[in-house]
Amino acid sequence: MRLILLSIFAYIAAAFISFTTARAYPPEIREDLKYLPSREVMEFLSLDHRGFVADYLFVQVSLHSGGLMWKPLDIQFDSQWSFGTVDLLTDLDPQYYTAYLFSGMGLIHNFDDAKLAKPILQKGMAVFPDSWELPFWIGYDHYTYLEDYQTAAQYFYEAAQKPGAPGRFLALLVSAAKKGGSYENAFWAMKIMMESAEDEKTRQVYEKKLVQLENLIVLTQASQKFNEITGHYPESLTDLTRKGLVPGLPEDPLGMAYTWDSEKKRVVMGKN
């Protein structure tokens, strides 16, 4: 009986302390405490445990990024601190592959975050030169957030050259390369897609797109030659025929029109 009474008393005391504490210190969601020390300080403090410190920093960044899903809207993502922390932890542990990837995947909360992710992903590419994922995410971020299709195509193409790179993002490479004017890269990817097409109908469509890209390459090369000869780019593609650089404007197999974009200074596709 004595033990039962003691247990009841302890339970009531614990409940009272819990209730009193909750009244005195009600739960409150605050901004994360964010502090970014210098690399020299962290190297000194971590001693021979740099991997442990890198893990700790990665957890802090992950919590800050993921915690925004349930926190009030007035608590914003701190891009400078987050990317600075990932940069620091990958200095402490250059082999931290997940951290490099996370910078291009889990830390993109604003469009400009793609610019902060790029140098970290590039740093990872120097450590992991055979990784296709790191250049892919640079390409993806530039394609999706920055609409910088030329840079996106460059990194998609680089990713596609890496060992074990899957073919499932080749269509994205074609799209970025066409929008960015990298028609040779688009031709390369489209040729692989055509050769691996599983049915004849799809293959025929890809063959027409290859002809289209080939025409774009020819007209682009002629436009560059025109610039070398005259010192300026053509005002329209008919200038190329007048100079004898092409026998005539090619007919598009998909019914599109080839035009000169004076602002982008390249050949583009348009509707007839």
Instruction: Give the span between the Cα atoms of 253 and 238, in whole angstroms.
Output: 19
Mean pLDDT in the chain? 86
Higher pLDDT, 208 or 8: 208
Is the pLDDT assigned to residue 28 strictly greater than 50? no
Q: What is the pLDDT of residue 201?
A: 93
Reported pTM:
0.81
Share of the chain above pLDDT 70, in %: 79
Q: What is the pLDDT of residue 11?
A: 64
Q: What is the pLDDT of residue 16?
A: 59
Average pLDDT over residues 31-60: 73
Share of the chain above pLDDT 90, in %: 63
Tokens (6 digits) for 60: 């802090």
Domain ranges, ordered by start, for the chain: 34-129
